[in-house]
Amino acid sequence: MSAKPTDTIPTLEGEAAAAVAHRGGHVQIIAAAGSGKTEVVSQRVASLLADGETPESIVAFTFTEKAAAELKERIRERVTAKMGDTATDQLGRLYVGTIHGFCFRLLQTYVAKYETYTPLDPNQLTNLLYREANRLKLRRLDPDEKLFRGITAFQENIDIVENELMRVEDLPESTFRDSAELYYAMLDGYRFMSFGTQIVEAVRALEDTEIRAAVTAALKHLIVDEYQDVNPAQEQLIRLLSKPHGTADVVVVGDDDQAIYQWRGSNVDNIVSFKDRYPGVTQFNLLINRRSRPGIVQLANGFAQSIPGRLAKEMGLFRAEAGPAVSIAVGHDAEQDEADAIALDIEALHAQGVRYQDIAILVRGRNAYTKILDALDISKIPVQPGGRTGLFEQPEAAIFGATFAWLSGVDWAPGRFIKREKTFLPDLLDDYRSTFGLNDDDIQKLQGHLIRWKSKTTQDPPDFDPSLVREFYDLTVLLRIAEWDLSDAHQRNRLGTLARFTNVLADYESVTRRSRRDPENPSEQVGGAVGNEWFYRNFALLLVNYATGSYDGFDGEEDLLGDGVALGTIHGAKGLEWPVVFLPSLTEGRFPSSRSGRVKDWLIPRDLFEAARYEGSDAEERRLFYVALTRARDWVSLSSHSKVTKNATKASPYILEAQALASSAGLPTGAEPRGIEMPDLAVTYSELEAYISCPQSYLLRNELGFMPPVKSEIGYGNAVHHIMRVIAEHARATGKLPTPKQINDLLTSDFFLPFANKAAHKEMREKARLLVFKYVKENQDDIKRTWATERPFELYLDGVVVSGRADVIYDEHDGVIDNLAIVDYKTATGGEVHPLQLQVYADAGRREGLTVGAAFIHDMSTTTRHTVDITADAVKAAEATVIKAAALLKKRDFTPKPEKSKCVSCDVKTVCGAAKLK
């Protein structure tokens, strides 16, 4: 690694430099903790581009979206320094992202039906399984036929099916197999995809040689970071993209000692056996730990020797000795005593000049949080936000949960292990009074509102179109939320809790109200459930049985300058580092976890997969301990306690082994502060447009997370865009327009509206049919000249990177070959035309070297084509607008821009004190 950096690019030496320079064949980079793998990967990409490789020829997979953003930023810096701005402008065509993201994009690009599919996160998937539990027979998967246990069992086992690329038809006949077959049919009916199905379907698509040829046509270099964490399905994806099956030389980067996700499917054998499974592999070892002081490195090295089956290696030292680096305290009396001692140490460190933000407290499980938070609170030590507490531990969320339970007569408790009790209206009103500071007049109005609301929930069918999110916003008016001071950090965090609750509402509603294809008539769709008594009751039951234990509280706004101690789990700290790290609660049963290695009663026969991998092991727990040790740069503190409440507990064997490997010392004599990096702002055009329109609305929706209400017309624009894209792609591939019958068939099979009932779907499809046929009739020549659809662009300006996708690009504008015209479809403009988006895309395209001769906004509802000014002066003015907005957003300037025309239709107007509604 670097001995002496240049002004902009660190100079690499030894195997690090060799890994950057190597060409031809597969590469395995074993990168120890703190060895600078991100720098090596970034310089390798920059070197490939400098050698003449195109951005499209390089794909880099990361484990998280955050890691992807960091890697792409580093690549951009190295490319700019090595090759200049012109090369940087090409980077929008280089994919750096998660495997899930790559798979979803692959499916939407090369398997047309998936363009109308929606990805589900784990909470949304649980909501869907809850909705469909009877149809999927999920109760039968639990011995006691408990619904939510059956849902959990199904999720755990279907994850294995997907991780291991099992085919459902190959499973032995069983209730689980029946449920799985129904599950995949159900996902298709609703046009949903889980994280697991995104990868499975991408692998199946790549097994089609024609699709694989198209996907890999430009691909020459595949980079896989954190390779030790890939599961068998992801490994198969990598194998199909790599030579000899695909076209890419693959570079895998990782460390078997840091493989900590086998319990969710990853297989450490992938990295251990890579050289044996791929042909012509060259291995490079990055073993110098540049992060940690020698005492920490030596302790981690010694402990790593106890991990079975690891690749033989030892981290080398880089930093000089500089005082105490390790502290070990075995056997504080009680857990609270241990937490108090940590608080005292933090106070002492802070008095020495160590910033709070340079300190982390990392634990094996969240059950250790409570005592630590109590001790930090008593000592007035600030703590960074970050989802440490459950949402329903916050009083605001607990009251809202109790309200929905009261509406449906369901017993309520704000946690899974708290006794549920009947909620009475007077008690509920008292809670509202104390939590929201309401007066007698407020309470009287609230009481009347709640009584009327409850009477409406029993109407079947309802005489209104309920939206839980909209009803929640109606409630916020009575609570006078709009009067809260947005400049007050505490009030903003409380608003964040309210926003998180709208996520709970939206997850339930977006799944429960989701339409599906009519199995009896696939050209039509059946609407989802709409607010009858069971709609509300099922939501209340979901709250008490699932949501109270599964939704984290508000994570807080990202503030790079905020000074607070980080408190989190070791799993969540992967890839991070701090000058000072505390590792408390190292007791038997907590670390290693008492659940690790426990044999489970799977619904899939154990001989069909490596069950032990999913059940955890001492080896995996030891790797996790190694990861924890290597998060520290200057000083690490290990501690345990002897009692939990009144029950005695033994110290973890790991802290005892550490005690034998390293001598304990006092507090560090100093700690080097972390540099605060201020990366360029990376935003999508849609995000930028939302901020420019109204910064305060952007704060409420994009930063705090308030969700929009569900509306039946949602998705109409996307559905029309999909039809137009397929028509354009057909013309590009064949040189001909599709026939009227083909267009009608396409509308019949592919026009999907996620929340429309049968009548609304028919009505809006007919409306779309008229728009599409009129467009095709009037723009035949343009369609035949299709150059690209859904073309991604990235514009790199001072301090900001703006990304987006152009709907369609036509070639031969004005009859000139390679003279391109960008067209953006609008299903309705409302008479207003906003040119900034296409000016940004035209600017990005020209910087890539494309000739962009024109840009148009096409209003399909009026068949009007508006010309966008993309002259040099107009584009320069657009750049200034983008740079100014980005600078204000980075400064976190959320000054509102209220206008009645915007505010009356704004989703968050009831929680916004600046809204102009009259």
**Cis bond upstream, residue 461 (ω within 30):** yes
> For residues 514 and 735, what is the distance between their CA atoms, to the nearest angstrom?
37
Separation of alpha carbons 418 and 413, rounded Å: 6
Distance between CA 581 and CA 692 in Å, rounded? 40
Q: Is 867 within 8 Å of 883 (Cβ atoms)? A: no
57 and 218 Cβ atoms separated by less than 8 Å: yes
Mutual orientation of helices 232-241 and 195-206 as an angle, nearest 10°?
A: 30
Nearest to 468 by CA among 708, 190, 652, 168: 708
Dihedral sign for Cα atoms in the order 311, 314, 316, 321: positive
| Pairwise CA distance, residues 856 & 795, whole Å | 19
Secondary structure (DSSP) of 663-726: ----S-S--PPPP---PPEEEEHHHHHHHHH-HHHHIIIIIS-PPPPP-TTTTHHHHHHHHHHH
Was 36 annotated as part of a binding site? yes
**CA 738/CA 747 separation, integer angstroms:** 12
| 712 annotated ligand binder | no
Alpha helices in 513-558 (DSSP H): 533-542, 548-550
Does the annotation flag 35 for ligand binding?
yes
- Which one, of 916, 915, 911, lies nearest residue 499 by Cα? 911
β-strands 221-224, 249-254: how paired?
A: parallel
Phi-psi region of 191 (alpha: psi -120 to 50; beta: other; left: phi over 0): left
Please answer whether residues 853 and 819 qualify as being in contact, where contact means their C-beta atoms are separated by less than 8 angstroms. yes
Question: 350: buried, middle or exposed (CB in 10 Å: 19+, 13-18, 0-12)?
Answer: middle
How far apart, in whole angstroms, are the C-alpha atoms of residue 192 and residue 126? Answer: 13
Q: Which residue has the tokens 């306690």?
A: 641
| Residue 322 identity (one-letter amino acid) | A
What one-character-per-residue DSSP string does 612-677 give? Answer: HHHH--HHHHHHHHHHHHTTEEEEEEEEEEEEETTEE-PBPHHHHHHHHHS----S-S--PPPP--
DSSP 200: H
* Number of helical (H) and strand (E) elements in the chain, helices listed first: 36, 24
Q: What angle in degrees, to the nearest 10, is found between the helix axes of 395-408 and 533-542?
A: 140
Q: Is the dihedral of CA 82, 85, 90, 96 positive or negative?
A: positive
Q: Which residues contact 302 (CB under 8 A, 6 or more apart)?
A: 661, 662
Task: Give the whole-angstrom CA distance, residue 220 versus residue 540.
Answer: 52
- The four Cα atoms 297, 302, 305, 310 give a dihedral, to 10 degrees, of 0
Alpha-carbon distance values, 58 to 46, 52, 389, 582 (Å) = 11, 12, 40, 39
Q: Is 38 annotated as a binding residue?
A: yes
The two most distant CA atoms of the chain are separated, in Å, by 85
The alpha carbon of residue 486 and the mean position of all alpha carbons in its chain are separated, in whole angstroms, by 26
Annotated binding residues: 31-38
Annotated binding residues for ATP: 31-38
